[in-house]
Amino acid sequence: MTNEFLNNINEYDLKEKYLSTNPEDSENPVFIKSEEYVNKDAAVQEKSSHEKSAIAVSTTNLSVWFNDKPGIENVNINIKKDSVTAIIGPSGCGKSTFLRALNFMHDLTPNAVVTGEINILGKDITEYNSIDIRKKVGMVFQKPNPFPTMSIYDNVISGLKLNWGHKKGLYDEIVETSLVQSGLWNEVKDRLKISAYSLSGGQQQRLCIARTLAVKPEIILMDEPTSALDPISTAGIEASIHDLKKIYTFIIVTHNMQQAARVSDFTAYFYLGKLIEHSKTSTVFTKPKEKLTEEYITGKFG
């Protein structure tokens, strides 16, 4: 873990996030900051469940049907914790459908039927309710969608206020940490109370990332998060993903193959609703196992 990374994590994070997801470090005195939080039994229990699985997301024969037509079909995938997985493929091949399945979003879609199994952090997705799943699995969309009538500050804490019941006294700290992590803090720290709408598109997207981070999920889904942004904002977001993957699992849909190559550890290629290949990113881009993948990454179609 780098010093730079540690500097960006405050005590609140250590208690709320780091200890809870990396219980092995609770044995390191550096991380024991609060008696109130550290419950050894819970940490030991969690340690054993985390040791069992380094897998954040696993699907078995996952299909999503829209009016009897498959959006995705029989997807079997294991996604490693604390890594970045890029989902690539031509338009209409099921990338968003796959992502949306991972936090129950098809519940909101009439005529969508999900079949097969989804395991999130060691538990079948049906064992979570829709609030719990969104605490564990955050989502960032293509078009930045801050709440237009709220200030920057209120946008960051909006998820906490709605569902989490954190103590108000922690809000300032959470806002600062989340904005530091999303790379926006220095640009907005003196004007947290102004409307989120006065920010540029790139800043709004980093605000949406901060809003997602504030809830401290374990998995962050991003559906083409930079496709509407300029290259500088894009580079900022890619840098945040790179720094944060030590404590979060990212699954990011991107149309931009350079981006997939830059930010991801693993790449999954979807074509016509099927998962064609899921390998290390270096393998996918240098010696793909499947001919279909090769045709796509060399620009023969798509």
Site for ligand ADP in 41-80 (CB under 6 A): 66, 71
> Please, are residues 220 and 135 in contact by the beta-carbon 8 Å criterion?
no
- Identify which of residues 33 and 255 has a Cβ nearer to ligand ADP in the complex: 255
**Taking CB under 6 A as the rule, does residue 95 contact ligand ADP?**
yes
Residue selected from 63, 85, 96, 151 as contacting ligand ADP according to rule CB under 6 A: 96
156-to-166, 175, 180, 204, 225 alpha-carbon distances in Å: 13, 6, 12, 11, 17
**Taking CB under 5 A as the rule, does residue 96 contact Mg ion?**
yes
Nearest to 213 by CA among 7, 4, 16: 16
Contact range with ligand ADP by CB under 6 A, out of 86-94, 178-186, 244-252, 283-291:
86-94
The two three-digit tokens of residue 19, written as one number:
């200890």
- Identify which of residues 29 and 299 has a Cβ nearer to ligand ADP in the complex: 299
Least distance (Å) between residue 187 CB and Mg ion: 29
> Please, are residues 195 and 34 in contact by the beta-carbon 8 Å criterion?
no
Nearest to 76 by CA among 93, 92, 63: 63
**Taking CB under 6 A as the rule, does residue 236 contact ligand ADP?**
no
Residues 6+ apart with CB under 8 A from 236: 183, 202, 206
Least distance (Å) between residue 79 CB and Mg ion: 18
> Please, are residues 157 and 213 in contact by the beta-carbon 8 Å criterion?
no
Residue selected from 5, 51, 54, 92 as contacting ligand ADP according to rule CB under 6 A: 92
Strand, helix or coil for residue 210: helix
Least distance (Å) between residue 140 CB and Mg ion: 13
Contact code string over 98-137 relative to ligand ADP, x by CB under 6 A? -----------x----------------------------
Least distance (Å) between residue 270 CB and Mg ion: 10
In which element (H, E) is residue 267 found? strand 266-271
**Taking CB under 5 A as the rule, does residue 151 contact Mg ion?**
no
Beta bridge partners of 64: 72, 114
**Taking CB under 5 A as the rule, does residue 254 contact Mg ion?**
no
Partner touching 201 among Mg ion, ligand ADP, none, CB below 5 to 8 Å by kind? none
Cα maximum dimension of the chain: 59
Binding site for ligand ADP (CB under 6 A): 66, 71, 89, 91-97, 109
